[in-house]
Structure 1
Amino acid sequence: MHTVVQENVSATLTVAVPAARVFAVLADPTTHSAIDGTGWVQEAVDRAPLTEVGQVFRMDMYHANHPDGDYRVANQVQVLDPPRAIGWLTGEEKDDGRLEFGGWLWRYDLAPLGPSATGVTLTYDWSAVPPFIREHIQFPPFGPEHLTNSLRHLAELVAATEVSGR
Structure 2
Amino acid sequence: MVDQDHVSVTLTVAEPAAKVFAVLADPRTHAAIDGTGWVQEPVDRALLTDVGQVFRMAMYHPDHPDGDYQVANKVQVLAPPRAIGWLTGEEKDDGHLEFGGWFWRYDLAPLGPSETAVTLTYDWSAVPRSIREYLQFPPFGPEHLTNSLHHLAELAATR
Q: State the TM bucket, normalised to the shorter chain.
A: over 0.9
Equivalent AA in structure 2 for residue 126 of structure 1: W
Root mean square deviation, CA, Å: 0.5
Shift of 1:38: 1.7
TM-score, scaled to structure 1: 0.95
Q: Hey, what does 1:134 align to over in structure 2?
A: 132
Q: Within 2, Cα distance between the matches of 1:158 and 1:142? A: 24
Hey, what does 1:164 align to over in structure 2? none
Question: Which residue is 2:82 aligned to?
Answer: 84
User: Following the alignment from structure 1 to structure 2, what is the Cα–Cα distance between the partners of residues 130 and 28?
Assistant: 30
CA deviations on 1:29-63 (whole Å, 9 max, x unpaired) are 00000000221000000000000100000000000
- How many residues get paired? 159
Q: Percent identity?
A: 81
Q: What residue ranges of structure 1 are gaps of 5+ in the alignment?
A: 162-166
Q: Distance in 2 between matches of 1:78 and 1:32?
A: 17
The TM-score normalised by the length of structure 2 is: 0.99
Q: Distance in 2 between matches of 1:87 and 1:118?
A: 17
Shift of 1:136: 1.2
Select which of 120, 124, 127 maps to 2:118.
Answer: 120
1:155 to 149, 153, 156: 153
Tell me the secondary structure at the aligned position of residue 112 of structure 2: coil
Task: State the alpha-carbon separation in 1 of the partners of residues 127 and 14 from structure 2.
Answer: 35
Q: For residue 97 of structure 2, what is the aligned residue in structure 1?
A: 99
- SS of aligned partner of 2:150: helix
State the secondary structure of the residue aligned to 1:113: strand
